[in-house]
Amino acid sequence: MVCEMETDQIEEMDVEGLSSMWPEDVGTQADNQFNVGDSDTLKEVDIAEKHTMADLTRLPELMNTTDQGSSQLTNLVRQWEYMQDHAVRLLREELKILTRQREEAEAKELKIIEEHNFESQEPENVPVLDETSHLFRRFRQKKRDELVDRERVVIDEEFDTVAYWKQKALSLEKMLEASTERERRLIEKLNESLKTMESHSAPVEELTQNLKRAEGFLHFILQNAPIVMGHQDKDLRYLFIYNKFPSLREQDILGKTDVEIFHGGGVKESEDFKREVLEKGKASKREITFETELFGSKTFLIYVEPVYNKAKEKIGINYMGMEVTDQVRKREKMAKLREDNAVRKAMESELTKTIHITEETMRAKQMLATMSHEIRSPLSGVVGMAEILSTTKLDKEQRQLLNVMISSGDLVLQLINDILDLSKVESGVMKLEATKFRPREVVKHVLQTAAASLKKDLTLEGNIADEVPILVVGDVLRIRQILTNLISNAIKFTHRGKVGIKLQVISQPSFANEEQKETSVWICCDVYDTGIGIPENALPCLFKKYMQASADHARKYGGTGLGLAICKQLVELMGGQLTVTSQVNAGSTFTFILPYKVATSDDHSDDQDEFSDMVDHHQPEPDDTTEGYFQFKPLLGSIYSNGGSVTGNNFLPHKAMLTTPLKLTNGFVSDPSSNTGQSETVQVENGGYMDESRQNCCPESAHQYGNGNGRCSSKESESCSSSQASSEMESELTVSSPREEEKTETEVKETSQPKILLVEDNKINIMVAKSMMKQLGYTMDIANNGVEAINAVKDSSYDLVLMDVCMPVMDGLKATRLIRSYEESGNWEAAIEAGVDIKTSENDQACVPPTNRLPIVAMTANTLAESSEECYANGMDSFISKPVTLQKLKQCLQQYLQ
Amino acid sequence: MNTVVAQLQRQFQDYLVSLYQQGFLDNQFTELRKLQDEGTPDFVAEVVSLFFDDCSKLINSMSRSLERPENVDFKQVDSGVHQLKGSSSSVGARRVKNVCISFKECCDVQNREGCLRCLQQVDYEYKMLKTKLQDLFNLEQQIVQAGGAIPQVNIN
């Protein structure tokens, strides 16, 4: 394409006719103008020399005084001389030919005579012929002076001795005569021509003629050429110009300099150039673009040479300009085209490279995510099993080994979760949920969880300004994740003092977009600590992936270096901003500003009732929903005194901070019992009690499952923290009522099995799954779609839900989301909003907020990573790919029920 | 007597293996067979017959949906295919499942011609499987009647 264009261009150029150097209309106008003026009439007549202008008086002078001039004359003279020489040589040659002819003729004659002589010798032998020989001798004599005695000889020969010879002699005579005559005439001619040669006019005349011819020739060649020629003296005044601009008259140019004649761009440059040549004494070429009023924009290729006189002094310059405007334009156009072309090519290649890199990156990310996911499932199995193992009887060494194993496993799990989160955010897969939540509650829960696993002498505090709304709408899970991340980070790098969260409403920040401006309240959240701080030079890379403030820190404190990067991305995903200020050895403050929609709090009262119900079981305390300040002191004494159960706490920090945000909710939701009002002594007591209860319950864990609420040894063993141990007791009491079929607690403990719900619409699948369950020793309830599942979950508490993804009426993803929302909020508002007909059963009191997160395992026909990602995003805990096999089912049950 | 049983047992074995080799069945069918025990001696047969009933119903309803060339309710067809795919995958009816996969693709792009072709294929495949499995169950019955036990068949 490009090539074609180029050739096209070239052809165009080739074909295009040359326009005259000077504009045509200007030319004619000028001519007309000349017609009017008398002074130019003569010139007009002299058509051939119309454009020529020469100072005739000066020109000969110039010719005589300059080297060029004299050499020209010398040349002419030399040429003339050469011509003359040539003529002479020609004549000489002719003469030579003639001479040779004559000699030949004479030789011929002689020969004839000799022949004759020879023939006549025979008769000579005869005495009778004496007379003839004599005659011959005489003839020979005569022949020598024929010119004198010819007549006479002829007469003599007419003697009738021998007729034949007489005849012959006669003809010979005639020939001779003719030849002689010719010779004579030639000589005459030669003389004549010599004479005319002498009489030839002087060479000057011929020189003039030659000059004229040269001029004519120049005219002929240059008449239409876009060439202007001139001679200027050493002041650069024109002495001679050829093919001037038509509207200028002779007197306008001669004796003037360029600057005096023209105005505009390029004039000065050309004058300077001429001067430069004059000074340097060296001929030179340059391209100059003129921009004059007279003829507009024209580019000339100018050749200037200095002119010397015979004394080798500079007396001026000759200059010749050729108009190359079109060529220059074309050249520039071509150059531009080529440049554009090159640029485009470069851009193209750059683009291809970028695309390639992007593709590679995407592939790598996808690969990383897929791999991470593939690793996570078996790893959670390993860690889970290890955790279960840690609840069995082990000797000290085994326990230590196991602890190392669990904490390493947790670290890897955390890393993988982080990577998955990151890739989710980066690939835009992560979708934000809009749920109502209470910021105070969230802050409290986050701090509580952190406090539960705190092993340092730190005070954790939460401070929420009064103007912060009670209820806002946002993605509470993500916000929790961010808060938890920041808090755990703060705790990690703080050795004494305090770590806290401060919430306040701020005015709309400058980065808010239109949409946000309308409906949002902006809440600024500070997470501050009195830790080691961050050096200023480390701040820029703080939010980069896999980066920590320094390698030393990384070694000392561990961690993946992904936490802050995720926080930042999440905050930005939600339309906010995360910043940090820090002072070394004084502490850091991470601040994130997020927009929230303010929720109408009409449903608030219901919630509060539930909460206050729960709260009422304890001694009075400030209301969770409005309380603005919390403080948590470390529970050092109690935790460290508990030899056996410390293990559980040892790996808790990892879990609480680092597993997916979904899991974090476990800790939060079961909070009501662990209130701030509890005194230290109570805690210690609880710790002791809990220790006991653990030892009791662990070996015969089966009965705990039956309860469905107070599971202590499951994967979510967060509930084992001392403060929550009491909740276990509490919830057992509260929840026992909905389960009518339970006769007494002890009975339940012995007979009940884990309660499993299968949500599946396909009869055959149900049949197969049921049969498998049976073989594994379990029974299960069946729901045929999401709505049925929600109702089932609402009416009784399950230990595990196996959820088909694709179902009629309501699919598994949505059902899971609604169940999670219920766990989050403690009510089925979201489900009702979604159109689920929540049957208000007689046992309304069953609608307590769930104390545990219900494990929901997806059953998906598509085993692609994308679909499993979707499962996780919707709150599912893991997934089984279809078709379900015994092995898979067994693994799943082991993971979630033991 | 014993030789008859042994012969029948070998015949049964070969037949079952051939069904796997010809791609009629996959490992899920093995899973199914594992679930059958003394308590539920006819489990496989029950599941399979349920499956075939399901097939015939779904195929009927889908063919009705695809009957008229215009205004095909692809959503309904899709749900049928989904159902069929799930069931066939659950019982290990491999060929039926494979046809369902391409059926679903046709359905996704609303290609009625393709759907009809797949429908025919599914119909053919499930009927084929039905006769094959009937033969298999007959063999089983013969073995039982002859006083033998159903042999364990290791498919690998």
Give, in words, the CATH class of B3-146.
Answer: mainly alpha
Helix (H) or strand (E) run with residue A646 in it = helix A646-650
> Using alpha carbons only, what angle is made at residue B140 by residues B135 and B142, rounded to the nearest 5 degrees?
95
State the average pLDDT over residues A250-258.
80
**Band of residue A165 on the pLDDT scale cut at 50, 70, 90:** confident
Three-class SS state of A774: helix
Side chain identity, residue A407? S
Reply yes or no on whether the pLDDT at A246 is more than 80: no
CB count within 10 Å of CB A598 equals 14
- pLDDT > 70 fraction of chain A, expressed in percent and rounded: 64
Reply yes or no on whether the pLDDT at A520 is more than 80: no
Q: How far is CA A465 from CA A448, A500, A524, A611, in A?
A: 19, 14, 10, 22
Token representation of residue B84: 């069929």
- Cβ contact, residue pair A768, B83, below 8 Å: no
Task: DSSP letter for A535, please.
Answer: -
A321, β-bridge pairs: A228, A302
Residue A848 Ramachandran class (φ > 0 left, ψ -120 to 50 alpha, else beta): beta
State the average pLDDT over residues A551-556.
59
Position with higher pLDDT, A757 vs A896: A757
| CA–CA separation, B81 and B59 (whole Å) | 9
**Band of residue A825 on the pLDDT scale cut at 50, 70, 90:** confident
Position with higher pLDDT, A401 vs A636: A401
| CA–CA separation, A639 and A684 (whole Å) | 8
Question: Which among A689, A688, A715 has a CA at the least distance from the CA of A701?
Answer: A715
At A35-83, the pLDDT tens digits run 333 433 333 333 444 444 555 566 666 666 776 667 777 777 888 888 8
Side chain identity, residue B140? E
Report pLDDT for A863.
46
Phi, psi of A315 (to 5 degrees): -125, 0
Q: How far is CA A411 from CA A166, A402, A455, A548, in A?
A: 153, 14, 18, 16
- Cβ contact, residue pair A886, B40, below 8 Å: no
Q: Which of A324-338, A569-583, A617-631, B119-133 has the lowest mean pLDDT?
A: A617-631
Nearest-by-Cβ selection for B91 from A764, A774, A861: A764
Reply yes or no on whether the pLDDT at A766 is more than 90: no
Reply yes or no on whether the pLDDT at A801 is more than 80: yes
DSSP tally for chain A: helices H, then strands E: 34, 20
Q: Which of A518-532, A558-572, A861-875, B119-133 has the lowest mean pLDDT?
A: A861-875
Report pLDDT for A454.
77
Contacting A with CB below 8 Å, chain B residues are 27-28, 31-32, 34-35, 37, 40, 43, 46-47, 50-51, 54, 79, 82-83, 85-87, 89-92
**Band of residue A311 on the pLDDT scale cut at 50, 70, 90:** confident
| CA–CA separation, A669 and A191 (whole Å) | 145
Side chain identity, residue A815? A
A300, β-bridge pairs: A288, A323
A591, β-bridge pairs: A526, A579
Position with higher pLDDT, A31 vs A524: A524
Report chain B residues whose CB lies below 8 A from the CB of A763: 50, 54, 87
Q: How far is CA A733 from CA A710, A729, A745, A751, in A?
A: 10, 7, 10, 19
CA distance A828 to chain B (A): 29
Token representation of residue A871: 């499962």
Helix (H) or strand (E) run with residue A594 in it = strand A587-598
| CA–CA separation, B50 and B46 (whole Å) | 6
Q: How far is CA B110 from CA A701, B61, B72, B81, B106, in A?
A: 53, 17, 9, 13, 6
Which residue is associated with the tokens 């701090």?
Answer: A447
Task: DSSP letter for A285, please.
Answer: E
Question: Which among A400, A361, A401, A405 has a CA at the least distance from the CA of A384?
Answer: A405
Token representation of residue B68: 């008229």
**Band of residue A769 on the pLDDT scale cut at 50, 70, 90:** confident
Position with higher pLDDT, A656 vs A473: A473
Decide: A316 and A234 in contact? Cβ < 8 Å: yes
- Cβ contact, residue pair A762, B92, below 8 Å: no
Decide: A534 and A549 in contact? Cβ < 8 Å: yes
Nearest-by-Cβ selection for B31 from A762, A764, A886: A886
CA distance B30 to chain A (A): 10
Reply yes or no on whether the pLDDT at A555 is more than 80: no
State the average pLDDT over residues A161-165.
76
Nearest-by-Cβ selection for A764 from B35, B40, B54: B54
At A83-134, the pLDDT tens digits run 888 888 999 999 999 999 999 998 988 888 877 665 544 444 444 444 445 5
Three-class SS state of A143: helix
Token representation of residue A213: 């011819």
Three-class SS state of A313: coil
Distance between start and end Cα atoms, chain A: 71
Please give the torsion angle defined by the CA atoms of residues B96, B97, B98 and B99, in that order, rounded to the nearest 10 degrees.
Answer: 50
| CA–CA separation, A649 and A563 (whole Å) | 22
Q: Can you give the length of chain A in residues?
A: 898
Position with higher pLDDT, A500 vs A558: A500
Residue A255 Ramachandran class (φ > 0 left, ψ -120 to 50 alpha, else beta): left
User: What does each of the 156 residues of chain B score in pLDDT, given as a tens digit?
Assistant: 578 888 888 888 888 888 888 888 988 888 888 888 877 888 888 899 999 998 999 999 888 888 887 778 888 888 889 889 989 988 999 999 999 988 888 888 888 888 888 999 999 999 999 999 999 988 888 888 888 888 877 766
State the average pLDDT over residues A658-680.
36
Side chain identity, residue A303? Y
Nearest-by-Cβ selection for B82 from A763, A767, A806: A806
- Cβ contact, residue pair A882, B90, below 8 Å: yes
Q: How far is CA B118 from CA A265, A764, B59, B95, B121, in A?
A: 82, 22, 10, 12, 5
Report pLDDT for A184.
92
Decide: B91 and B46 in contact? Cβ < 8 Å: no
Residue A785 Ramachandran class (φ > 0 left, ψ -120 to 50 alpha, else beta): beta
Report chain A residues whose CB lies below 8 A from the CB of B83: 761-762
Report chain A residues whose CB lies below 8 A from the CB of B40: 771
A883: cis peptide before it, omega within 30°? yes
Reply yes or no on whether the pLDDT at A343 is more than 90: yes
Task: DSSP letter for A650, please.
Answer: H
Report chain B residues whose CB lies below 8 A from the CB of A771: 35, 40, 43, 47
Q: Please write down the HEC assignment for all residues of A801-869.
A: EEEECCCCCCCHHHHHHHHHHHHHHCCCHHHHHCCCCCCCCCCHHHCCCCCCCCCEEEEECCCCHHHHH
Q: How far is CA A279 from CA A229, A269, A421, in A?
A: 20, 15, 78
State the average pLDDT over residues A446-471.
84
Give the domain ranges of chain B.
3-146
Report pLDDT for A429.
67
Report pLDDT for A839.
62
**Band of residue A724 on the pLDDT scale cut at 50, 70, 90:** very low
- Cβ contact, residue pair A883, B79, below 8 Å: no
Report pLDDT for A556.
59
| CA–CA separation, A732 and A311 (whole Å) | 128
Task: DSSP letter for A884, please.
Answer: P
- Cβ contact, residue pair A883, B90, below 8 Å: yes
Report pLDDT for A706.
38
Reply yes or no on whether the pLDDT at A610 is more than 70: no
**Band of residue A795 on the pLDDT scale cut at 50, 70, 90:** confident
Which residue is associated with the tokens 């893991």?
Answer: A878
Phi, psi of A631 (to 5 degrees): -140, 140
Decide: B103 and B81 in contact? Cβ < 8 Å: yes
| CA–CA separation, A311 and A789 (whole Å) | 118
Report pLDDT for A20.
58
Decide: A461 and A632 in contact? Cβ < 8 Å: yes
At A402-436, the pLDDT tens digits run 888 887 887 787 777 777 777 777 766 667 778 88
State the average pLDDT over residues A565-575.
85
- Cβ contact, residue pair A764, B40, below 8 Å: no
Report chain B residues whose CB lies below 8 A from the CB of A761: 83
Phi, psi of B114 (to 5 degrees): -60, -40
Decide: A882 and B86 in contact? Cβ < 8 Å: yes
Position with higher pLDDT, A307 vs A620: A307
Nearest-by-Cβ selection for B89 from A763, A808, A883: A883
Instruction: List all residues 6 or more positions away from A120 whose beta carbon is below 8 Å from its beta carbon.
Output: A129, A132, A133, A136, A165
Report pLDDT for A510.
79
CB count within 10 Å of CB A350 equals 10
